[in-house]
Amino acid sequence: MSEEGERSEQIGEEAKSEETKTKKKESAPKKEKKEDKKRKVKGRIPWPLSKIVNIRMVRRLVQLFFLFAINGYIFTAWFGAEQVTLFWEQFRNVLPTLPIIAPLEAPFAIIAGSFDTIQREFTAGIFPFFTLGAMIIILAVLGRAACGWVCPIGTMQDYVSLLNPNKVRPAPNTEEELRRVKGYIFFIVMFLAVWMFISVIQNSAENLVDALGIFAFAAFDPVNPAYILFKLAPEQPWPTSIETLWYISTWGIFLVQLAFVGIILIVSLWFPRWFCRWLCPAGWLYGLVGRDSLIGIGRNPAKCTPDICNKCEVVCPMNIRIRRFPYSHVHSPECILCLECVSHCPNGAIQIKFG
Ligand code: SF4
Ligand code: SF4
């Protein structure tokens, strides 16, 4: 089916669903409406502490916590290096890397991204056994939950997209084509990393380093928003007064990189997590490994009404066509376990699945 065909099928499908819902609402007696309302609230808040907190609020708070914690050493100014080290070392010793994007050598970093570390290790002539092993275990159990709950770049996009309730959902075929881009970026980045790895162990890396320039040691870094914000930004001569404003003119290529981060955030107003969906090579790798994770999302066929409702798909920030997957498990490499579909389902039909 052509893209236009798919789009009109989708629009038709959604319009039909809206029409059916409106008709149903008009004819429903008041009592039924009340019950429906009760059920909606019940479905949105599927756990015991629901009267006080809901899972969306919890995720937002966890995301905020990690947004600052990823660069935990920035707090040394207030709490002193010793306190901060004591607190964070417990985490760093257990989880030195996580399946997110976070640069290994950021000056304030307490944790690194698996993909960033794999690149660095390869280009240093080290095979990343431990990083790969830890990454596979985390993804096999939790899937891409770290993308949904921890990654600072995902968090920033999520928070920006909250400002605009009118999102754009590309047609399934267009979405599929755009998702391929991150796979291509992944192969280019890993090809260069492995090439460097071979050159380093053969002691012939000098020429390659000269030829690749800023792309030599981690080819994704120059366009990696986490690297730009957490590694490059602290190194820039930031103006501290009107007289030092001219420092900005010395930023050079960093200005272009900063503009790129700005574009990622602005576009997220209409296309939630578009960087994750279409450009992040780390996300592509994590999706490949974490697709069939132990913990995932499934639908209860007794409660789900896929013919008249598409609420879960409308709220999914990764634009996953949830209804096209089997009821038992949404085996999508794009699912970041954000649980937006769980909290928005009016029938409480979407649940966390184990196994
Ligand atoms: S896809 Fe990339 S940027 Fe998005 S949350 Fe995952 S690691 Fe972070
Ligand atoms: S399917 Fe549900 S849990 Fe997965 S990304 Fe979409 S909204 Fe989040």
Residue of 337, 344, 351 best suited for mutating to test ligand 2, as the one with most atoms within 8 Å of CB: 337
User: With 80 as the cut, is the pLDDT of residue 177 above it?
Assistant: yes
pLDDT band of 44, cuts 50, 70, 90: very low
C-alpha 347/C-alpha 350 separation (Å) is 8
Residue 163 located in a structural domain? yes
Ligand 1 centroid, distance to 326 Cα (angstroms): 25
Between 300 and 90, the more confident residue is 300
Residue 108 located in a structural domain? yes
Q: Do residues 339 and 59 make contact, with C-beta atoms less than 8 angstroms apart?
A: yes
Name the percent of the chain lying above pLDDT 90. Answer: 64
Alpha helices in the chain (DSSP H): 3-27, 30-44, 55-69, 76-79, 81-94, 114-123, 129-142, 145-149, 152-161, 172-201, 206-212, 225-227, 233-235, 253-267, 274, 281-290, 311-315, 340-344
Residue 23 located in a structural domain? no
Residue 16 located in a structural domain? no
User: With 80 as the cut, is the pLDDT of residue 283 above it?
Assistant: yes
User: With 80 as the cut, is the pLDDT of residue 2 above it?
Assistant: no
Residue 209 located in a structural domain? yes
Tell me the DSSP string of 61-105.
HHHHHHHHHTTGGGGHHHH-HHHHHHHHHHHHHH-SEESS---TT
User: With 90 as the cut, is the pLDDT of residue 271 above it?
Assistant: yes
Ligand 1 binding pocket includes 100 (Cβ within 6 Å): yes
User: With 60 as the cut, is the pLDDT of residue 322 above it?
Assistant: yes
Query: Rounded mean pLDDT of 156-166?
Result: 95
Ligand 1 centroid, distance to 26 Cα (angstroms): 43
Ligand 2 centroid, distance to 151 Cα (angstroms): 16
Residue 277 alpha carbon, nearest atom of ligand 1:
1
Residue 22 located in a structural domain? no
- Please tell me the predicted confidence (pLDDT) of residue 91: 66
| Domain carrying residue 241 | 42-355
Residue 24 located in a structural domain? no
Between 354 and 336, the more confident residue is 336
Backbone phi, then psi, for 2, in 5-degree steps?
A: -70, 165
- Please tell me the predicted confidence (pLDDT) of residue 69: 85
Between 163 and 95, the more confident residue is 163
Ligand 1 binding pocket includes 151 (Cβ within 6 Å): yes
Residue 62 located in a structural domain? yes
- Please tell me the predicted confidence (pLDDT) of residue 227: 95
Rounded to the nearest integer, the mean pLDDT of the chain is 85
Q: Do residues 122 and 248 make contact, with C-beta atoms less than 8 angstroms apart?
A: no
- Please tell me the predicted confidence (pLDDT) of residue 355: 75
- Please tell me the predicted confidence (pLDDT) of residue 260: 97
C-alpha 309/C-alpha 146 separation (Å) is 29
User: With 80 as the cut, is the pLDDT of residue 340 above it?
Assistant: yes
User: With 60 as the cut, is the pLDDT of residue 26 above it?
Assistant: no
- Please tell me the predicted confidence (pLDDT) of residue 219: 92
Residue 342 alpha carbon, nearest atom of ligand 2:
2
The pLDDT tens digits for 184-236 are 999 999 999 999 999 999 988 888 899 898 888 889 999 999 999 999 999 99
Domain count across the chain: 1
- Please tell me the predicted confidence (pLDDT) of residue 50: 57
Of the candidate ranges 21-35, 45-59, 322-336, the one whose mean pLDDT is the lowest: 21-35
Query: Rounded mean pLDDT of 275-304?
Result: 96
Ligand 1 centroid, distance to 30 Cα (angstroms): 45
- Please tell me the predicted confidence (pLDDT) of residue 96: 76
- Residue identifier of the C-alpha nearest atom 4 of ligand 2: 335
Q: Which of 289, 306, 228 is nearest to 264 (CA)?
A: 228
Of the candidate ranges 3-7, 99-103, 261-265, 289-293, the one whose mean pLDDT is the lowest: 3-7
**Residues in contact with ligand 2 (CB, 6 Å cut-off):** 297, 316, 318, 320, 322, 330, 335-341
Ligand 2 centroid, distance to 117 Cα (angstroms): 27
